[in-house]
Amino acid sequence: MTPHIRLIGAPTDVGAGTRGASMGPEAFRVAGLQPTLEGHGLRVTDWGNINGPANPWQAPVGGYRHLAEVAAWNHAVHQEVHAALSEGEMPMLLGGDHCLAIGSISAVARHCRRLGKTLRVLWLDAHTDFNTDALTPTGNTHGMPVAVLCGHGPAELTGIGGVSPALQPSAIRQIGIRSVDAGEKRFVRESGLEVFDMRYIDEMGMRHTMQAALAGIDDSTHLHVSFDVDFLDASFAPGVGTAVKGGPTYREAQLCMEMIADTGRMASLDVMELNPALDVRNATAEVALELIESLFGKSTLMRRS
C-alpha cells in the first residue's frame, strides 16, 4: 500500500547551540521535497509549519537551555505526529533541531502501544544524543533526546506522551556515530544502547551494519527513522550545525537508505538539523532529498525481491 506522507515542519532551533536549523523546513520545500516524492507515485500532503515559542537565546539554567521552550515545541510536535499516525498517514517531521525527536518518537511510541506494534528506532546521526543535565557540556537539549526518550531527563520532557520511559534502549539502533561526550560515553555503555559507530561501519561495511541494525523486524514492527543530516560526511553535507568529519560516504548513505526501504516497514520519519545558514546553495538539502527518495524506494534498477 502506498503511504500517504504528511509533511510537518517544525521551524525551531531552541535545542541547538548554533542557530539556523529553524530554516530547515523551508529549505526542504525549496529543494522540491513534495513534488520530488510525488514524482515517485507517493501521496504527499504538506501540513505547513507548527508554531511555537521564539528562541530566547539564553544561557543554560539547571543544566538545560530553553527548557520551557523545548517542552512547548515538543508538546506541539507530539500532537501533530500523533494525529498523523492516528489518521493513518506517515508523518515526516522536518526539523528543526534534533531535540524535537522527543515529541516525535514519544508520539510514535504511544501509537505503537495502542496498536500493539513493536517499535524499532533507527537513529542515523554523528552523535548519540544521550546526554543528561549532569553530563552535558553545553545544556543544549538536541544532545539529549535519546536519553529523554529512555526516561533520563526533566519531567517536563520525559513525561511527554504520558508514559516514561517512552521506549527502552533495546528498541534503538544508532548508526554513524563518531562524536560522543566523555560522560555520555559511559552512560551509553551502562544503558546498553546498541551503537554501530563509524569504526564498526569501517570494519564491517554498511551492508552488514544495516543487516544487523534491521535484524529481528517483522510484520508487526513499526520502523521509525530519525535522520540527523549530520549523519552524513560533512564533505558533501556541510549544512548542519554540528558537522563531524569521517561520516558515511554518499554511497554508504545511499545503501543505508535503500536497505531501510527494502524492509517495507518504515512508518514514520524525522529529518533533522538541516541548517541552511551553514549550507552552500542549498546543496545539503538537495543531497538529503536524494537520500529521502531512496528511503522511499527509489532505486537505479527494478530489483528482484
- CB 299, min distance to Mn ion, A: 27
Least distance between Mn ion and beta carbon 142 (Å): 6
* Per-residue cell: 195: 551503537
With a CB cutoff of 8 Å and minimum separation 6, the contacts of 210 are: 175, 255, 256, 259, 260
| Minimum gap (Å) between residue 218 Cβ and Mn ion | 28
Q: Which residues of 32-46 are buried (b: 16+ CB within 10 A; e: fewer)?
A: ebeebbeeeebebeb
273 among known catalytic residues: yes
Stretch that binds Mn ion, among 42-50, 98-106, 175-183, 293-301 (CB under 5 A): 98-106
Q: Does 46 count as an annotated binding residue?
A: no
Q: How many residues does the chain have?
A: 305
DSSP E strands in 20-169: the ranges are 43-49, 90-95, 118-124
Residue 127 assigned to a binding site: yes
Stretch that binds Mn ion, among 4-12, 73-81, 119-127, 247-255 (CB under 5 A): 119-127
Shortest CB 127 distance to Mn ion, Å: 5
Q: Supply 270's cell numbers.
A: 524525522
267 vs 106, 107, 186, 225, CA distance in Å?
14, 12, 32, 8
Active site residue 40: no
Amino acid at 64: Y
Taking CB under 5 A as the rule, which mask of x and - marks residues 153-172 in contact with Mn ion? --------------------
3-state secondary structure of 152: coil
Size of the site for Mn ion (CB under 5 A): 4
Quote the CA–CA distance of 149 and 153 in Å, as a whole number.
Answer: 9
Question: Is there a catalytic annotation at residue 129?
Answer: yes
What are the residues whose beta carbons fall under 8 Å from the beta carbon of 205, sequence distance 6 or more?
A: none
Strand partners, 45: 6
CB of 279 to Mn ion, least distance (A): 17
Residue 198's closest CA among 180, 213, 176, 172?
176
270 binds Mn ion (CB under 5 A): no
Contact 25, 14 (CB under 8 A): no
Q: How far is CA 48 from the centre of its chain?
A: 19
Site for Mn ion contains 69 (CB under 5 A): no
Nearer to Mn ion, 36 or 104 (CB): 104
Among 80, 125, 184, 197, binds Mn ion (CB under 5 A): 125
Establish if 129 lies at the interface with Mn ion (CB under 5 A): yes
Report the DSSP beta bridge partners of residue 9.
Answer: 49, 94
- Among 93, 120, 90, residue whose Cα is nearest residue 1: 90
Site for Mn ion in 221-250 (CB under 5 A): 228
Q: Does 142 qualify as catalytic in the annotation?
A: yes
Given 66, 98, 111, 152, the catalytic residue? 98
For Mn ion, give the closer residue by CB, 9 or 89.
Answer: 9
Compute the least distance from the CB of residue 228 to Mn ion, in Å.
4
* 97 near Mn ion, judged by CB under 5 A: no
228 is an annotated ligand-binding site residue: yes
Per CB under 5 A, 286 contacts Mn ion: no
Which one is catalytic: 66, 142, 152, 222? 142
Contact criterion met (CB below 8 Å) for 24 and 275 = yes
Annotated binding-site ranges for Mn(2+) = 98, 125, 127, 129, 228, 230
List the binding residues. Answer: 98, 125, 127, 129, 228, 230
Supply the residues annotated as catalytic: 98, 125, 127, 129, 142, 228, 230, 273
Per CB under 5 A, residues contacting Mn ion are: 98, 125, 129, 228
